[in-house]
Structure 1
Amino acid sequence: MPRLPSPTPAQLRRDPLPLRGRTALVTGASRRGGIGYAVARRLAAYGAGVYLHHHVPHDAAMPWGADRTEDVVAGVREALGDPDAPVVAGPGDLTEPDAPADLIGTAAAALGGRLDILVANHALSGSDGSLDEIDAAMLDAHWAVDTRSVILLVQAYARLRTRLPDRTPGGRVMMMTSGQDIAGGMPDEIAYGLQKGALASATRSLSTALADLAVTVNCVNPGPVDTDYLHGDAYAAVESHFPAGRWGMPDDPARLIAWLATDEAEWITGQVIDSEGGCRR
């Protein structure tokens, strides 16, 4: 194969809408304080059509509560770089075995029959504990949401991509891990940390499985992000670990994920990438 030429000056200039004409599904994008919402806004700002998956009952049961879906959609639509790119939202209970495949089909249909980018951002909060506290039900609940549903989403996404012409560009999968492999791990969230670790471990295998479809697969650890779940002294204690003197904000990992979705990142796959802000642990 001949060596690829160096980029021309025109190619070096960044397209302000690098995702124009492409489509994305972002799971777990049900509230404006979350990472999924920030990711969706970045993708929309880059020109992508976006389908926002939500499971409002989960957030409604949490201390932070749920947003109105129409407010979430309005916030993403506000960020549109391409006014012709659609923004659609729909529900899905990913604890159900058939829900991931149904969601992929629904999102693709809503976005014109094609899905280029999958950002599996959803996760189960709560229902966890230390080694002494966890039980089979906690482990099973986190497995179903945090790991099984993600793998089934990737499977359904890959099957959809096989219907496109050979090696259609722009295929991207981004999964979310956590800080389970850094410093002291997550001893008080054994079930969550275990299942997030499984996704990180599967990243390279999935990237190999999807390589022939010209799809990259990467896993992002967003680090401690202020999604309005911690306050007071505990918040200040985390903040003190960062040289910048602040928590990560949802848009910090969103910028990384949006960049991974562009053609600039087409040579990056099979990686677990930390967005940690230089944390001093």
Structure 2
Amino acid sequence: MTKYALVTGGSRGIGRAVCQKMAAMGYHVLVNFKANEAEALKTVALIKQGNGRAELLPFDISDKQQIQQVLGGWIDANPDKQIDVLVNNAGVREDALMVWMQDEQWDKVIRTNLDSFFHVTRLVLNGMIGQKYGRIINIVSLSGLKGLPGQTNYSAAKAGLIGATKALALEVARQNITVNAVAPGFIKTDMLEGIEEKEVQKLVPARRWGTPEEVAHTVGFLASPEAAYITAQVLSVNGGLY
């Protein structure tokens, strides 16, 4: 029976690496993206080059109507297909010191990074409960653990997601569903454009950027059947930076 994994924000960076990892583990990957279809298609092409299976599932994770229409529509149209693994990866940053932060900067980051978890996960969760199996992995951030200046919105969203991870894990543990979070530090992706690597090296004990593949490997471990007794945890991938 085909196993399915949904990865939000799968067109680039960590999301692309996670999609490739899920495909390598034998999952048919639902590659979610919002606008950059060309990059999402590249993710699918890379998966197919490795003899994996993937398809696009485009919707805006900050729009609950779109989530219901597209993801809910896919679930309704495919009653024989079950999403075994959900990776809530998509997110945005709108950095500003709080004194200068605009309402929309706060709202957009909370809506995209935190509200989306609720709307996407709730839809997928019913099927997991029905079959008494599931793996939910939320990509959070070092920012949600320690707070970073200029990121009160992003830190609040990711810290909220950590709390939601721990609470949901307790709700569904008896159904053989695990809920965990992965907290990347400085990972070499488009999200860190404009940050000097030399500055990062001064901060990080490992003295380098992390790679998307290192985050994806951690996600793959938590998604595996062998990780069944690990839930409500936050696993940091940060080179020792706290």
Taking structure 2 as the reference length, the TM-score comes to 0.89
- The structure-2 alpha-carbon separation of the partners of 1:154 and 1:261, relative to structure 1 and needing over 3 Å to count, comes to same
> Is this contact kept in 2: 1:23–1:111, CA < 8 A?
no
> Is this contact kept in 1: 2:142–2:238, CA < 8 A?
no
**Aligned pairs for 1:13-28 within 5 A:** 21-28=2-9
> Is this contact kept in 2: 1:51–1:111, CA < 8 A?
no
Deviations 1:82-105 (Å, cap 9, x if unpaired)? Answer: x5xx31012101222223334433
The share of aligned pairs that are identical, in percent, is 29
Matched, 1:72 2:27: no
Q: Which amino acid aligns with 1:188?
A: G
Partners of 1:228 and 1:201 in 2: CA distance: 27
Partners of 2:55 and 2:16 in 1: CA distance: 13
Partners of 1:73 and 1:105 in 2: CA distance: 22
Partners of 1:118 and 1:101 in 2: CA distance: 16
Match in the other structure for 1:95: 62
Q: Helix, strand or coil for the counterpart of 1:51?
A: strand
Please state how far the C-alpha of 1:225 moved relative to its aligned partner: 0.4
Structure (1/2) with the larger helix percentage: 2
- The structure-2 alpha-carbon separation of the partners of 1:115 and 1:273, relative to structure 1 and needing over 3 Å to count, comes to same
- The structure-2 alpha-carbon separation of the partners of 1:239 and 1:21, relative to structure 1 and needing over 3 Å to count, comes to farther
Match in the other structure for 1:10: none
Please state how far the C-alpha of 1:198 moved relative to its aligned partner: 0.3
**Aligned pairs for 1:1-281 within 5 A:** 21-31=2-12, 34-56=13-35, 67-80=38-51, 86-108=53-75, 109=77, 113-126=81-94, 128-164=95-131, 167=132, 169=133, 171-182=134-145, 185-230=147-192, 234-279=196-241
Partners of 1:42 and 1:111 in 2: CA distance: 25
> Is this contact kept in 2: 1:50–1:111, CA < 8 A?
no
- The structure-2 alpha-carbon separation of the partners of 1:39 and 1:110, relative to structure 1 and needing over 3 Å to count, comes to farther
Q: Helix, strand or coil for the counterpart of 1:274?
A: strand
Partners of 2:169 and 2:109 in 1: CA distance: 23
Q: Which amino acid aligns with 1:155?
A: R
> Is this contact kept in 2: 1:25–1:119, CA < 8 A?
yes
Partners of 2:150 and 2:61 in 1: CA distance: 24
- The structure-2 alpha-carbon separation of the partners of 1:233 and 1:45, relative to structure 1 and needing over 3 Å to count, comes to closer
Structure 1 unmatched ranges of 5 or more: 1-19, 58-65
Q: Which amino acid aligns with 2:14?
A: I
Partners of 2:72 and 2:195 in 1: CA distance: 45
> Is this contact kept in 2: 1:239–1:247, CA < 8 A?
yes
Q: Which amino acid aligns with 1:221?
A: A
Partners of 1:241 and 1:141 in 2: CA distance: 29
Partners of 1:93 and 1:230 in 2: CA distance: 22
Partners of 2:192 and 2:128 in 1: CA distance: 39
Deviations 1:130-150 (Å, cap 9, x if unpaired)? Answer: 111113222211121110111
Taking structure 1 as the reference length, the TM-score comes to 0.78
Q: Helix, strand or coil for the counterpart of 1:119?
A: strand
Larger-Rg structure: 1
Structure 2 unmatched ranges of 5 or more: none
Q: Which amino acid aligns with 2:48?
A: R
Q: Helix, strand or coil for the counterpart of 1:38?
A: helix
